[in-house]
Structure 1
Amino acid sequence: METADLLERCYPGRRAELKRDIFRNALRLFNEQGIEATTIEMIRAECDTSVGAIYHHFGNKEGLVAALFFTALDDQAQLRDRYLADADTTQAGIYALVHSYVDWVDHQPEWARFQYHARFAVTKGPFKDELATRNKTRNRQLWEWLSAPERGDELKGVPAELMLSLIIGQADSYCRTWLSGRVKSRPMVYRDMLAEAAWRSISTGETRKQ
């Protein structure tokens, strides 16, 4: 799942070739130079296109940053949904959520690195409302799956607003540490340990004894 594959999945076909090229070069420059230091002119020079073409697709730099960020979120969500579709128990669902998160970061380190750095900019920028709406929809869908009647009382007592932090928090922490170069082992090495830790942090005592 390299960068080119992700872009082909999200923006397939010849008509989207320029958009993919802009995305590819912008992603590299944002990660290498930083979001603030990277200019539209720098991206234009790497793409060998016009400033007008970039503005036509994205409006401005904030629009390009947000488009990259939402592309990463959408691709990550698609992988999560595929993993979750195969889960037939609550525990399997928790494992699916952690595995999908870890696997996506492991296979898409450049996108994940950008995603971490860009989150603050998008949260504080002109696309903050769109991000909030997307997050609400995503969280509602996950909570509906986790709280479905067939799940029983396995997650009883866990506040909804705390659920995602308990499930993804430890995996997120390790992935960030790996992306910063402070640890060497790839996240996939610990995917099962992280999933088990997430399950133990939210399941009831009775469930853990089974």
Structure 2
Amino acid sequence: MARPSRKDEILQAALACFTEQGVDATTIEMIRDRSGASIGSLYHHFGNKERIIGALYLAGTAQYAERLEHGFAKAGSAEACVKLLVTSYIDWVVANPDWARFILHSRGRVEAGEMGEALREANRLHFARILAALAEYRQQGVFRAMADNCFAAVVIGPSQDLARNWLAGRSQSELGACRELLAQIAWESVRANP
């Protein structure tokens, strides 16, 4: 396994600080101390705290998108693709709860900040890749007719809601234990009536 880059080390240190101290209370100095990076290295890679926040957000969402890309390459049916959207999300959240919590709470800040356009572009590309992976099945009439944004909400919305509650400690259910059920419900919700 490759050694993490200095940039990755800084991002992981920032995540640890944000988790322990909160995003607003964390300072550049805290991140520098935690990462062991020089102030010059930190500013070279990111420039300021807002860019660290944006980069951390984008890196986390890119990991989920990468899981999907690998999964779509192996999925052999519309059902497998829809279920993959759910299980990949849940698996990523369970494996990265601090990062997932950070992403859920930081979206508005990143969108409103100087990296907002980069986030919007990453989301646009991510959604386009999902639609491309499902396009043939949609053309074949495998799915119910619905707008793209409605389709996305029906498929991933329940998982995001449960993940949000699980991350906040408000769920009686273990998130990972619900992955197959939520994946099946997503599939049943969007497939065309047999």
Whether the TM-score (by the shorter chain) exceeds 0.5 is yes
Aligned residue pair count:
194
Aligned partner (choices 167, 170, 176) of residue 155 of structure 2: 167
Q: Quote the residue 1:38 is aligned against.
A: 26
Instruction: Report the Cα distance in structure 1 between the residues aligned to 2:116 and 2:7, rounded to whole angstroms.
Output: 23
Which amino acid letter does the alignment assign opposite residue 8 of structure 2?
R
Unmatched tracts of structure 1, length 5 or more: 1-7
Aligned partner (choices 95, 100, 114) of residue 112 of structure 1: 100
The Cα of 1:103 is off from its aligned counterpart by: 0.7
Q: Quote the residue 1:124 is aligned against.
A: 112
Which amino acid letter does the alignment assign opposite residue 91 of structure 1?
E
Aligned partner (choices 67, 87, 108) of residue 99 of structure 1: 87
Contact 1:44 1:51 in 2 (8 A): yes
Q: Quote the residue 1:4 is aligned against.
A: none
1:99 aligns to what SS in structure 2? helix
Instruction: Report the Cα distance in structure 1 between the residues aligned to 2:108 and 2:137, rounded to whole angstroms.
Output: 36
Which amino acid letter does the alignment assign opposite residue 192 of structure 2?
T
Which amino acid letter does the alignment assign opposite residue 20 of structure 2?
E
Aligned partner (choices 112, 121, 124) of residue 136 of structure 1: 124
Instruction: Report the Cα distance in structure 2 between the residues aligned to 1:47 and 1:78, rounded to whole angstroms.
Output: 25
Instruction: Report the Cα distance in structure 1 between the residues aligned to 2:37 and 2:184, rounded to whole angstroms.
Output: 48
Instruction: Report the Cα distance in structure 2 between the residues aligned to 1:52 and 1:77, rounded to whole angstroms.
Output: 31
Q: Show CA shifts across 1:83-121 (max 9, x none).
A: 222211111110111111111111111111111122111
Q: Quote the residue 2:46 is aligned against.
A: 58
- The TM-score, its normalising length taken from structure 1, stands at 0.85
Higher mean displacement: 39-48 or 187-196 = 39-48
Instruction: Report the Cα distance in structure 2 between the residues aligned to 1:92 and 1:60, rounded to whole angstroms.
Output: 41
Contact 1:84 1:97 in 2 (8 A): no
Instruction: Determine whether 1:192 maps to 2:180.
Output: yes
Higher mean displacement: 62-71 or 148-157 = 148-157
Contact 1:106 1:188 in 2 (8 A): yes
The Cα of 1:51 is off from its aligned counterpart by: 2.3
Instruction: Report the Cα distance in structure 1 between the residues aligned to 2:137 and 2:77, rounded to whole angstroms.
Output: 12
Contact 1:106 1:186 in 2 (8 A): no
Unmatched tracts of structure 2, length 5 or more: none
The Cα of 1:170 is off from its aligned counterpart by: 0.5
Instruction: Report the Cα distance in structure 2 between the residues aligned to 1:27 and 1:204, rounded to whole angstroms.
Output: 42
Contact 1:89 1:151 in 2 (8 A): no
Which amino acid letter does the alignment assign opposite residue 155 of structure 2?
I
Contact 2:155 2:190 in 1 (8 A): yes
Instruction: Report the Cα distance in structure 1 between the residues aligned to 2:137 and 2:156, rounded to whole angstroms.
Output: 23
The Cα of 1:168 is off from its aligned counterpart by: 0.5
Q: Quote the residue 1:146 is aligned against.
A: 134
Aligned-residue Cα RMSD (Å) equals: 1.8
The Cα of 1:21 is off from its aligned counterpart by: 2.6
Identical aligned pairs, as a percentage?
34
Which amino acid letter does the alignment assign opposite residue 155 of structure 1?
F
- The TM-score, its normalising length taken from structure 2, stands at 0.92
Contact 2:13 2:35 in 1 (8 A): yes
Aligned partner (choices 37, 55, 65) of residue 49 of structure 1: 37
